[in-house]
Amino acid sequence: MKKIYFSLLLLTIPFTSFAATGATQLEGSFKVGPAVILITILVLFVLVGILFRAKDTTDFYAAGRGISKVGSGMAIASNWMSAASFLGMAALMYGSGYHGLAYVVGWTGGYVLLLILMAGQIRKYGKYTAADFIGDRYYSQTLRAVGAIIAILISISYCVGQFGGIGLMFKWVMGIDYAWAVIIGGAVVLAYTLISGMLGVTKNMQIQYVIIIVSFLIPLFILTFKFDYFWLLPQVGYGSVVSDAVAGIPLAESQQLVNSFGHDFAIVPTPEYAMPWDPATGKTFYQWIAIAFSLMIGTAGLPHVIQRFYVVPKARDARWSVVWGLFFICVLYWSAPAYAAFGKILSAHPEVGTLAKDAIVVYTAQLGNVHPLIVGFLAAGGVSAAFSTVSGLLVAGSSAFAHDLYVKVINPNAKPKNQLLAARLGTILMAMIVTVIALANLALIGQLVAVAFSLAGCTIFPLFLLGIWWSDSNKPGAIAGLVVGGIISAISLSYFVAGKYGVTLPMHDFVDYWLGAWYFAIIGAPLAIIAHIVVSKMTKQTPLEIRKFLIEKVHS
Amino acid sequence: MDNSNDEYHISFFKPTTPQAVANRNMVVWFVLIWFVAIFGFQILLRILEKPTPEPSFISFEKVWESVKSGSAGETELQEFGRATLSVLGKIMITPEERTTLDNALSWTVSQLTIDPLRAELAEKIRDFESIKASITDISDPGYIAKKVDLSSELSPKLGLSQNDVRSKILPLELSADLGVSLTEETKNTLPAIMKKYLVHNQSVLTDFKFLGFPFHYFYTAIFLLILFVGICWLYCVKTDSLNKRLNIVD
């Protein structure tokens, strides 16, 4: 146990070591104003959660199916705009330039697939969870259980990045150790999810969306105004920031504008920031395409996203909620690259030191001399983004555990009270597992979240795509597809984890490149689909009642 | 097994009802637009791109052989020093690459200083390094004064004006120990480092400006997202009108 604790301490050393750089000064100690803002917002979330708390299982899983399409769109956006969107995307662009835009495109383009291939049909199918759909469509309790386990694994993988983001923001606000920040933040989000359930979560998500977007945009208006760019629409105004970074800003043109350390708003020419797959970033064309593709099909296979379509009254609402949801999401995604561009110039002086990329949004606001309370509000927005997603993920994971594993497989006669208890126990267990993994700080937030997308793309996406659109897709085909997708996922993740701990496996570089942990779905998903189709063609027909249901209920 | 010969059969590619046919056509068109807009453009970028060096890389290539062989004159050394500073100003470089570049820069500055003053310069740099290591706040007045002094003294040696961003970076990248000689490690690895950071994939799509953005950046970061929302909106409108026309109720 001591060894484990020592290892965890070692992992936090980069966050606790001290040196005289701008980076350490930006961290500082306990910040009263931001802490008050953060606590106020968290209390607000809990109060809303209590006010709209789940009364029964239908409420807990699907908010009573009484949410409007605009409301559901806001909830989709809030659910979606996680720490990976709020903090991680700017981090990826700050660190690897144009390569980071693959995440922007991947995390938005997937909604087109989700809408035109699935949203309405999923709602018409009328199930509570992704595993419910898989179990019914493929007439197999085993597949239902496997679907539930995959949903839990995806939720855990997705949550790890969020807990990392919560930890970073709690650390920044409270000036405490990263490990403690993750534990405290995790405990708060767990308490909130347990109190509220999905109904509270849905109401909260609408409030969270407003907080997230307002907190994200205000500093951007200030930065563009302060540094003399087109501030009325910073999402367009930052284009000149990108071009200035590429061409360089000589001291003579810095117009005596400075960052919070007094360094001029100047930079040597930095084309690598915007040029595609630049050698300086170490990223290639294949990786750009692979990440965008994997994230897009992963979007259409994520249980907590699919689950949002169960909470709207009609299939039409499910479709329109995607449009609204995507628009609300894009407001943030159009803005995030601006933080990276400003961050690049404001932190260009070597004295600023190495900044934790995942906190670059907050650091950029600090370096730009934005008022500390507004920066605090921004950090609180980051926490809100992580909270809204984590709560949705924990509900999706616990639903899979209680509804699909406990009730449908283990104890079909369970009373609703016991079912709710199982859901809550599942939530606690998941939160504990996520906390332990998050403490290991394995990669950037955006990259950790991308793992969940590839996993979903290799496993759940083929099951939904073929299950909805091809009545000959059957149980043996589904099993074959899952096996292939599962094997590809296992290979990729094994090489990733081995690499993290210094173990070199056979053909390590080859596998690491072509089946990278953030984008293995580009290989895994097509193979899983092919295996699914081939085996379905060779085996017994799908039962009549399922084909009938597809025609009469889903496609009528 | 052929499972398609009965009335309860659904296949996206073989629709059997007017609604399914219309929906199939719509989905195919939208997916095609979506796919070409995303991947087609990136492929076009890839086809059109050409490795384009920054001016600093051209300077570096011009003087590198003479610098390596120890026959470089003052102007060549100045060009070499400025080129290394151009890379040191980029925040992406790794600690190992920084050490190599610092060695090249420190050695160059040392070479540009006349022999009797080299020891004095090394002492000044060492003094600055120790202050840098001891301060807890980078706005420390003593530290700033030393930094400005060093920059003012050494920038002219490299032919840098006080308006050049690199003059501000210069004192921070010097090391007394690394200035003694150009190491074999540096001679072997420096060209690759310079090429990595100073040559970029550029084309007409990256050089053309639109609303202040490099065009390709605007297209990917802004336009594609607008297109996605547009496709979704159009799909919903078309589906609603199709359902109305065919009297389909959810």
Instruction: Kindly report, residue by residue over A112-147, the tens digit of the pLDDT.
Output: 998 888 887 887 887 767 888 899 999 998 999 999
Residue-range definition of the domain harbouring residue A238: 26-554
Q: What's the Cα-to-Cα distance from A443 to each of A92, A332, A383, rounded to whole Å?
A: 11, 23, 19
- Residue whose token pair is 């890379």: B87
Q: What is the pLDDT, as a whole number, of residue A399?
A: 78
A167 Cβ neighbours under 8 A, 6+ residues apart: A178, A179, A181, A182, A185, A438
Q: How far apart are CA A230 and CA A238, in angstroms?
A: 8
Domains of chain B by residue range: 18-49+203-245, 51-201
* Average pLDDT score over residue span A355-375: 91
Q: How far apart are CA A102 and CA A288, in angstroms?
A: 6
- Number of Cβ atoms within 10 Å of the Cβ of B192: 12
For residue A319, being part of any structural domain is answered with yes
Q: How far apart are CA A309 and CA A301, in angstroms?
A: 13
The dihedrals phi and psi of B201, each to the nearest 5 degrees, come to: -85, 105
Mind listing the pLDDT tens digit for each residue in A488-503?
999 999 999 999 888 9
- Number of Cβ atoms within 10 Å of the Cβ of B141: 8
Q: How many domains does chain A have?
A: 1
- Residue whose token pair is 């906390």: A435
A157 Cβ neighbours under 8 A, 6+ residues apart: A448, A449, A451, A452, A455
- Residue whose token pair is 């990108």: A242
pLDDT tens over chain B, length 250 residues:
444 455 778 788 888 788 888 888 999 999 999 999 999 999 999 999 999 999 999 999 999 999 999 898 999 999 999 999 999 998 889 999 999 999 999 999 988 888 778 888 888 888 888 888 888 888 888 888 988 998 988 899 899 987 889 998 999 998 887 777 889 999 999 999 999 999 999 999 999 999 999 999 999 999 999 999 999 999 999 999 988 888 877 6
Query: A236 to chain B: nearest residue by CA?
Result: B211
Q: Please answer whether residues A319 and A115 qualify as being in contact, where contact means their C-beta atoms are separated by less than 8 angstroms.
A: yes
Chain A residues lying within 8 Å of B18, measured CB to CB: none
Query: B208 to chain A: nearest residue by CA?
Result: A243
Cα R_g (chain B), whole angstroms: 30
Query: A539 to chain B: nearest residue by CA?
Result: B1
Mind listing the pLDDT tens digit for each residue in A255-311?
778 888 888 999 999 999 999 999 999 999 999 999 999 999 999 888 777 776 666
The dihedrals phi and psi of A217, each to the nearest 5 degrees, come to: -85, -35
Q: How many helices (H) and strands (E) does chain A have?
A: 25, 0
Sign of the Cα pseudo-torsion (B48, B213, B197, A507, in order): negative
One-letter amino acid for residue A315 of the chain = A
Mutate to test the interface with A, among B8, B238, B247 (most CBs of A within 10 A): B8
Among residues 48-67 of chain B, which lie with CB inside 8 Å of chain A? 49, 54
Return the SS3 of A287.
helix
Q: Please answer whether residues A53 and A199 qualify as being in contact, where contact means their C-beta atoms are separated by less than 8 angstroms.
A: yes
CB spacing of A541 vs B1 below 8 angstroms: yes
Q: Pairing mode, if any, of strands B213-214 and B209-210? A: antiparallel
Q: Percentage of chain A with pLDDT > 70? A: 89
For residue A273, being part of any structural domain is answered with yes
Q: What is the pLDDT, as a whole number, of residue A8?
A: 40
CB spacing of B138 vs A108 below 8 angstroms: no
Q: What is the DSSP letter of A310?
A: G
Among residues 177-196 of chain B, which lie with CB inside 8 Å of chain A? 195-196
Residue of A32, A73, A4, A47 whose CA lies nearest to A328: A73
Chain B residues lying within 8 Å of A344, measured CB to CB: 91
Tell whether the model's pLDDT for residue A409 goes beyond 90. Answer: no
Q: What is the pLDDT, as a whole number, of residue A532?
A: 97
B94 Cβ neighbours under 8 A, 6+ residues apart: none
Mutate to test the interface with A, among B31, B92, B233, B243 (most CBs of A within 10 A): B92
Task: Copy the structure tokens of residue B212.
Answer: 């202040």
* Average pLDDT score over residue span A480-485: 97
Mind listing the pLDDT tens digit for each residue in A506-530?
999 999 999 999 999 999 999 999 9
Tell whether the model's pLDDT for residue A9 goes beyond 50. Answer: no
A555 → closest Cβ in B3, B20, B222: B20
For the range B143-148, what are the long-range contacts, defined as Cβ-Cβ under 8 Å and sequence gap of 24 or more?
Answer: B146/B171, B147/B171, B147/B172
For residue A7, being part of any structural domain is answered with no
Q: How far apart are CA A453 and CA A470, in angstroms?
A: 23
For residue A8, being part of any structural domain is answered with no
Q: How far apart are CA A200 and CA A320, in angstroms?
A: 22
CB spacing of A115 vs B138 below 8 angstroms: no
Residues in chain B: 250
Task: Copy the structure tokens of residue A316.
Answer: 């039409």
Mind listing the pLDDT tens digit for each residue in A311-331?
667 778 878 888 999 999 999
Is B35 an 8 Å CB contact of chain A?
Answer: no
Burial of B64-94, coded b for 16+ CB within 10 Å and e otherwise, reads: beebeeeebeeebbbbbbbbbbbbbbbbbbe
For residue A529, being part of any structural domain is answered with yes
Tell whether the model's pLDDT for residue A366 goes beyond 50. Answer: yes
CB spacing of A472 vs B9 below 8 angstroms: yes
Is B38 an 8 Å CB contact of chain A?
Answer: yes
- Rounded to a whole number of angstroms, the distance from the CA of A50 to the nearest CA of chain B is 33
Q: How far apart are CA A156 and CA A430, in angstroms?
A: 7
Q: Please answer whether residues B159 and A245 qualify as being in contact, where contact means their C-beta atoms are separated by less than 8 angstroms.
A: no
For residue A131, being part of any structural domain is answered with yes
Q: How far apart are CA B143 and CA A22, in angstroms?
A: 14
Q: Pairing mode, if any, of strands B50-53 and B213-214? A: unpaired
A82 Cβ neighbours under 8 A, 6+ residues apart: A88, A158, A161, A162, A165, A385, A386, A388, A389, A390, A449
Q: What is the pLDDT, as a whole number, of residue A19?
A: 46
Is B204 an 8 Å CB contact of chain A?
Answer: no
Q: How far apart are CA B86 and CA B56, in angstroms?
A: 7
Residue B115 exposed, middle or buried by CB count within 10 Å (0-12, 13-18, 19+): exposed
CB spacing of B232 vs A235 below 8 angstroms: no
Model ipTM?
Answer: 0.91
Query: B244 to chain A: nearest residue by CA?
Result: A316
Q: How far apart are CA B127 and CA A449, in angstroms?
A: 46
Mind listing the pLDDT tens digit for each residue in A10-63?
343 343 334 456 666 677 778 888 889 988 888 887 777 677 665 555 555 444
Query: B14 to chain A: nearest residue by CA?
Result: A470
One-letter amino acid for residue A409 of the chain = V
Residue A264 exposed, middle or buried by CB count within 10 Å (0-12, 13-18, 19+): buried
CB spacing of A239 vs B211 below 8 angstroms: yes
Query: A472 to chain B: nearest residue by CA?
Result: B3
- Residue whose token pair is 């008050």: A36
* Average pLDDT score over residue span A218-244: 94
What DSSP line would sit under B212-225, residue for residue? TEEHHHHIIIIIHH
- Residue A177 binned pLDDT confidence (cut-offs 50, 70, 90): confident
Q: Please answer whether residues B9 and B221 qualify as being in contact, where contact means their C-beta atoms are separated by less than 8 angstroms.
A: no
Residue of A37, A91, A81 whose CA lies nearest to A385: A81
Angle between helices A69-80 and A315-346 (to 10 degrees): 40
- Number of Cβ atoms within 10 Å of the Cβ of A65: 16
Among residues 118-137 of chain B, which lie with CB inside 8 Å of chain A? 132-133, 135-137
CATH (domain of A418): 1.20.1730.10
Query: B84 to chain A: nearest residue by CA?
Result: A268
Q: What is the pLDDT, as a whole number, of residue A56?
A: 56
The dihedrals phi and psi of B53, each to the nearest 5 degrees, come to: -80, 150
